[in-house]
Amino acid sequence: MEKNIDVKIISIDEVIKIFKEEEGIELTNEEAEQISVFLSMLLKITVKCFLEDNMI
């Protein structure tokens, strides 16, 4: 049975805030958007692999 993976995308504002508070780095909206898209993609791949490994 295949499951549909739904991941909440981290907002651009949240990414900017985290980098500013934790690392002291000022990001542009474009940079924060790229990071958000990358993290979303990484999470989807990780969850998909986890589900496939545990379906055995």
Six-digit token string for 55? 């379906």
Note the pLDDT tens digit of each residue in 15-53. Answer: 999 999 999 999 999 999 999 889 888 988 998 898 888
For the chain, the domains span 12-54
Q: Would you call 7 helix, strand, or coil by DSSP?
A: coil
Say if residues 50 and 3 touch (Cβ distance below 8 Å): no
Banded model confidence at residue 2, pLDDT cuts 50, 70, 90: low
Residue 33 makes CB contacts below 8 A (sequence gap 6+) with 12
What does pTM read for this prediction? 0.70
Residue scoring higher pLDDT (12 or 6): 12
